[in-house]
Amino acid sequence: MNPDLRNLIALQDIELKITSLQKQVAEIPSLIQSFEDELRRTRESHEQQVARSKELANRRRALEGDVDLSRSKLSRLKDQLMSVKTNKEYTAMLHEIQIAENQIRSEEDKILEIMEEMEDKEKAIKGSELEMNKKLAELQTGIRETNDSAPRMEAELEKLRQHKVQTESQVGEELLSRYRRIAEARKGVALAEAKDELCSACHVRIRPQMYAELLRTDNIHVCDSCSRILFVRENL
Ligand SMILES: [Zn+2]
């Protein structure tokens, strides 16, 4: 293979690695942000459940207070019942007692409902606490690993950049500037493998004569369709 072309292939390989690594480095802040958002959402949803459970406990206490009041009212009414003078008063009093009893029953029903809901809530909270702690630990590991990966990637980038300069210096100036022009126009990919008589980048058929020359000679050819520099991979 043309040694210049071999170096260009190495160069493109390095440059593509640099591009992909730069992209990964650039994505680190938003990756960490998304981990942190998820952390916050997980905590908030748990806190909401706990808050709901507290609210239920408060409502239960308030209702229990109401029941106490209703009960003392009821016993007062029952005492008064003994001392009424007329039939009409007696009927009215019985009616009031009935109302007070209904009230107590309805308050007690509500307390029972709340107790059931509290029981379900507490079970759910216990279950979700385990889940949450597992998830929080995973997210925190994710954040730590992502942060730790940054200096490693930067070091790798530095190595690649040095390697790039070295490789560039081994390619003829004219061919290098041709490579640069094509790379600029073709999203950083200036070389394309010629395989099975096709350009592997744009999948257009290569003229048979050119393909034969590619296989036989060290001459530089470009794809008629995408203008990328063609190369034939050497059998390793
Ligand atoms: Zn092509």
- So what's the pLDDT on residue 100? 94
pTM: 0.71
- Express each pLDDT in 117-153 by its tens digit: 999 999 989 988 998 999 999 999 999 999 999 999 9
Question: Could you tell me how many residues make up the chain?
Answer: 236
> How far is ligand 1, taken at its centre, from the CA of residue 194, in Å?
9
- Express each pLDDT in 183-199 by its tens digit: 999 999 999 999 999 99
Reported confidence tier of residue 1, pLDDT bands at 50, 70, 90: confident
CB 183 within 8 A of CB 16: no
Neighbouring CB atoms inside 10 A of 201's CB total 19
- Backbone φ and ψ for 84, nearest 5 degrees, come out as -75, 150
The first and second tokens of residue 150, run together, are 């940054």
> How far is ligand 1, taken at its centre, from the CA of residue 198, in Å?
8
- Interval 60-64 mean pLDDT: 97
- So what's the pLDDT on residue 236? 56
Q: Which amino acid is at 99?
A: I
> How far is ligand 1, taken at its centre, from the CA of residue 210, in Å?
13
> How far is ligand 1, taken at its centre, from the CA of residue 218, in Å?
19
Q: At what angle do helices 173-185 and 3-82 cross, to 10 degrees?
A: 30
- Interval 211-225 mean pLDDT: 94
CB 170 within 8 A of CB 7: yes
- Backbone φ and ψ for 208, nearest 5 degrees, come out as -55, -40
Domains and CATH numbers, the chain: 26-149 (1.10.287.1490), 174-231 (no CATH)
**pLDDT higher than 90, residue 170:** yes
**pLDDT higher than 70, residue 213:** yes
